[in-house]
Amino acid sequence: MSRLTSQSTDGGGGRAAAADVRAFLDSLAGQPPLRSLSAADARAAVRQLVAAVDLPADPSVASQDFQFDAGGAHQLRARAFEPANAAPGPVIIYMHGGGWTTGDLDTHDSLCRSIAARTALRLISVDYRLAPEAPFPAAYEDALFATQRVLAGAGPFDARQGVVVAGDSAGGGLAAAVAHAHRGNDFGLRAQLLLYPVLDVAGRGHSYAECAEGYLLEAADMENFMDAYVPDREQRHDPRCSPLLAESFDSLPPLALLTCGFDPLRDEGRAYAARCVKAGVDVHFIEAAGHIHGIATLRRAIASSQHVLDRVYAGLLRLL
């Protein structure tokens, strides 16, 4: 029998955006959408935005960069984080967001430090290959390879207590796909931590129309990201890029999942949680009704987001 813990938090906004969310959105007026930029310019814009609107990195969390040898000339960069309050437990393997085309170890450095400190768990962030230079399944293959290597003893941390696969947005979808790749096998996956993940690149929930414009991530941006990562539309039903479409959810590890009320991806997150519950998976589900996509790296601008994230992390720890 699965356990479902479901909570909704509106950040004071109900069916309206929370006050600090609205103030942040208003501050972006006149900015060009990411879809109008080249890949290089979009990556630079994301770095600049995150540097301006996310919290400073927690200096109490130690970090070190290292590489996984993926064979040939491909070296998979990663960054390990160890909080000062580290406790015995699984290692979190984190895949950053950014629509498979932007984001890196630095854009998510502060967030990864915060997750490590607030969960007291060691964390490894994976710098997977980006599209359009490396389209599907490159990012998935890197995420899967890094997870398997950590479980096999590679990297600076002992993963004998298993791993948590985690990520935000596109990275959340990669983490979910990795969990499905290990479904039913005793490979040491302890949980999934998914923050407003991309879970279905073949379908479009009602939230795509409801939140099409005006909430930072727009439906047209998602179309642009998907065209870059999975340009072959016949591949979009592949569970490695659309884990919501997997045949079975049986024997998946427990799930902590966050959706945001004003996010085109909201409905696929809801559907993923529902399929996990139906399959008997323990689920901790939170919907931040007054919030937008991307809040995990907008914590300076949207102060209420940290409270939301803390509730997700607390749910994860209860599932372990």
Name the catalytic one among 110, 114, 125, 169: 169
CA distances 58 to 50, 181, 283, Å, are 15, 33, 29
Euclidean distance between CA atoms 190 and 125, whole angstroms: 17
Task: Decide if 63 contacts 79 (C-beta within 8 A).
Answer: yes
Clarify whether 263 is annotated catalytic.
Answer: yes
- What is residue 120's predicted lDDT score, i.e. its pLDDT? 98
> What separation in angstroms does the CA of 168 have from each of 98, 176, 296, 313?
8, 10, 8, 13
Find, among 191, 183, 199, the residue nearest to 92 by Cα. Answer: 191
Let me know if 158 is a catalytic residue: no
Pick the CATH number of 4-319 from 3.40.50.1820, 3.40.50.150, 3.30.460.80, 3.40.50.300: 3.40.50.1820
| Tens of pLDDT, residues 175-221 | 999 999 998 776 799 999 999 999 999 999 999 999 999 999 999 99
> Residue 69: is its pLDDT beyond 90?
no
CB of 150 closer than 8 Å to CB of 164? no
Instruction: Indicate if 27 belongs to the active site.
Output: no
Tens-digit pLDDT profile for residues 129-183: 999 999 999 999 999 999 999 999 999 999 999 999 999 999 999 999 999 999 8
Name the residue ranges covered by the structural domains of the chain. 4-319
Percent of the chain with pLDDT over 70: 96
Q: What's the pTM?
A: 0.96
The model's confidence at residue 3, banded by pLDDT at 50, 70 and 90, is: confident
12-16, 107-111, 282-286: the lowest-pLDDT one: 12-16
What whole-number distance in Å separates Cα of residue 299 and Cα of residue 296?
6
